[in-house]
Amino acid sequence: MFTEIFDACSWDEIKADIYAKRPADVEHALSAQKRTLEDFKALISPAAAPYLEEMARQSNELTVKRFGRTVQMYVPMYLSNECQNICTYCAFSLDNKIPRKTLTDEEILNEAAVLKQMGYEHVLLVTGEANLTVGLPYLQNALRLLRPVFSQLSMEVQPLDQSDYEVLVADGLHAVLVYQETYHRENYRQHHPKGKKSNFNYRLETPDRLGKAKVHRIGLGTLIGLEDWRTDCFFTAMHLRYLEKTYWQTRFSVSFPRLRPIELDCQASHQAFDTQMSDRELVQLICAWRLFSSELEISLSTREEERFRDHIIGLGVTSISAGSRTNPGGYSKPEQALEQFEISDERSPEQIAAMIRKRGYEPVWKDWDRSYEAY
């Protein structure tokens, strides 16, 4: 299990090593044919900042070579905002007294109809972490309802046992996104004081259970703003490298969501976070990920602003969301509140697709891999 590798590492030592990297280390990483974890440290270090133009050039070349001039379109569908965890950064947190909503079968199909009309084939199902309300039976039912409608169904829900994932794979589950939030064990405890999510090791071992359950794609990531982003992303890279070697038949993706304002207690007040990361540093991170792994799928959500998302096309990102709503029922009833967080890019899928074409790329709505699997 990855836990054994993780426990042998020191957060403070790795952080110090990243910040100690020099220009020579960056130049070595840029000239390497196959990058190591030490190279990744250099590419995300402050020393790499002056080399961003070269990183972007190489990142573009590698992305086009592997994925062509295409960008996959996906969209989240929030099924429920019920949650039994307390998380300091999330509007769904148990201690935030907002109205709770879990979609019925009819409401799920209503949401699906709207997304289908938008042209989507890739849907990410999202819930809060409430095992009794949105546990395995609910998730099974949602997959069975939606499998005839969409070509690819992914999930970002509470971590489950291996046997649960095996059941969901049989019902059409394609991918699971599970973010560690932060790999800093003590900081993690502060931000997750109550609920099953407070179990750091159970969450850390989730990708292992996913790999053993033969889930087609595993999504990793950390929430930028909870801790030092460079160190958190290094641990993500170490996790990825372990998973690639252990579950070599599995595909992998990575995301790097920056914290967004959230609504508290149904009022207009919002909690703000310092993301600890500039736009330039986020570009550096995206390029570093591509240089580290040419096969890695890299996604960017509507958390980011329009201008940033427009200019990041071609620099490593392979999938992008558009027209997102972060509340259950938000597509068929857009006036309904209950959002998990505020989105930043509110453009429609049509507008995003037009932007992608304008930049010389093609938006892709269908996953052909799934079609071939039927034969």
Q: Label residue 93 by pLDDT band (50, 70, 90).
A: confident
| pLDDT at site 367 | 60
Q: Label residue 375 by pLDDT band (50, 70, 90).
A: very low
3-state secondary structure the chain: CHHHHHHCCCHHHHHHHHHCCCHHHHHHHHHCCCCCHHHHHHHHCHHHHHHHHHHHHHHHHHHHHHHCCEEEEEEEEEEECCCCCECCCCCCCCCCCCCCCECCHHHHHHHHHHHHHHCCCEEEEEECCCCCCCCHHHHHHHHHHHCCCCCEEEEECCCCCHHHHHHHHHCCEEEEECCCECCCHHHHHHHCCECHHHCHHHHHCHHHHHHHCCCCEEEEEECECCCCHHHHHHHHHHHHHHHHHHCCCCEEEEECCECCCEECCCCCCEECCCCCCCHHHHHHHHHHHHHHCCCCEEEECCCCCHHHHHHHCCCCCCEEECCCCCCCCCCCCCCCCCCCCCCCCCCCHHHHHHHHHHCCCEEECCCHHHHHHCC
Length of the chain: 375
* C-alpha–C-alpha distance, residues 68 and 361, integer Å: 9
On the question of pLDDT at 359 being above 50, the answer is yes
Span 124-128, average pLDDT: 96
Least confident residue range of 11-15, 44-48, 126-130? 126-130
* C-alpha–C-alpha distance, residues 112 and 83, integer Å: 23
Q: Where are the domains of the chain?
A: 2-373
**Residue 259 · residue 18 · CB < 8 Å:** no
- Stronger pLDDT, 333 or 219, i.e. the higher one: 219
Give the position of tokens 């160190």. 231
Rounded to a whole number of angstroms, the distance between the first and last alpha carbons of the chain is 34
| pLDDT at site 371 | 39
* C-alpha–C-alpha distance, residues 217 and 365, integer Å: 17
Q: Label residue 370 by pLDDT band (50, 70, 90).
A: very low
Please give the CATH topology (third level) of the domain spanning 2-373. Answer: TIM Barrel (3.20.20)
Query: Which tens digits make up the pLDDT trace of 23-60?
Result: 999 999 999 999 999 999 999 999 999 999 999 999 99
Query: Which tens digits make up the pLDDT trace of 193-212?
Result: 999 999 999 999 999 999 99
Contacting residues for 129 by C-beta, under 8 A, at least 6 apart: 83, 84, 85, 157, 158, 195, 196, 197
Structural tokens at position 95: 């201690």
Please give the model's pTM, rounded to 2 decimal places: 0.91
